[in-house]
Amino acid sequence: MVLNNEKEYPEICLRILKDLEENLPAHLKYHSLEHTIDVANVCNQFIEHFNIDKAMAKLIRIAAISHDYGYIVSPINHEERSIIAIQPYIKDILTSEEINIVNGLIRATKVPQQPKTIYEEIIADADLDYLGREDYDKLSNKLYEEFVYFDFVSDPKEWLNLQIKFLEKHRYHTKYSQKHREGLKCQKLKELKANLMAENS
């Protein structure tokens, strides 16, 4: 996957991407370099759609690239690990206020999502954009592999139940995602429920 509009990303983002490429564990099938680039590309679409100014766009891009950086160490509290890991990179190029914004953006991706600003809503929706896309099954299967590896689920039926519960609770925050992603997401939820009924019959 190619990072769109790469020239707009600060050098720090490219360094983090290289670090992710070299050091993310192989068992991370979903939370991979590809996922990070996907989230960044969706954020880029939001930036253009909402005509976000360059200063804030830079902070969103930094957060998008670094939001899962902590997965290099562990999936547990990876958002806070990400925040800690990027501090040496950003402390000399961002103000304390900008750092706080970046930290808030990263925390906004934590499930259950609780974004407090429109910018946090953007990155939260970007992180779960795939829930309402045609590639849901492909990416969901990758996430299943991860969950099995970490013993978060034990079999496909437990995973099916988990997906249904998650989709039932999830809500997109921006009107853009509600318009462009909610329909397919609801369709997928109906499909998963039908699969569960078929398994139980």
Return the HEC string of the chain: CCCCCHHHCCHHHHHHHHHHHHHCCCCCCCCCHHHHHHHHHHHHHHHHHCCCCHHHHHHHHHHHHHCCHHHHCCCCCHHHHHHHHHHHHHCCCCCHHHHHHHHHHHHCCCCCCCCCCHHHHHHHHHHCHHHHCCCHHHHHHHHHHHHHHCCCCCCHHHHHHHHHHHHHHCCCCCHHHHHHCHHHHHHHHHHHHHHHHHHHC
Closest CA to 40 of 67, 77, 12: 67
CA 131, CA 105: separation in Å to the nearest integer?
Answer: 20
CA 109, CA 22: separation in Å to the nearest integer?
Answer: 23
Give the model's pLDDT for residue 19: 97
Report whether 59 contacts 101 (CB < 8 A).
yes
Give the model's pLDDT for residue 199: 87
Give the model's pLDDT for residue 42: 98
Correct CATH for 1-127 of 1.10.275.10, 3.40.50.1000, 1.10.3210.10, 1.10.1060.10: 1.10.3210.10
pTM of the predicted protein model = 0.97
Q: Which two tokens stand for residue 118?
A: 């429109």
Question: pLDDT 10s per residue in the chain (201 long)?
Answer: 999 999 999 999 999 999 999 999 999 999 999 999 999 999 999 999 999 999 999 999 999 999 999 999 999 999 999 999 999 999 999 999 999 999 999 999 999 999 999 999 999 999 999 999 999 999 999 999 999 999 999 999 999 999 999 999 999 999 999 999 999 999 999 999 999 999 887
Domain boundaries, the chain: 1-127, 129-201
CA 85, CA 184: separation in Å to the nearest integer?
Answer: 35
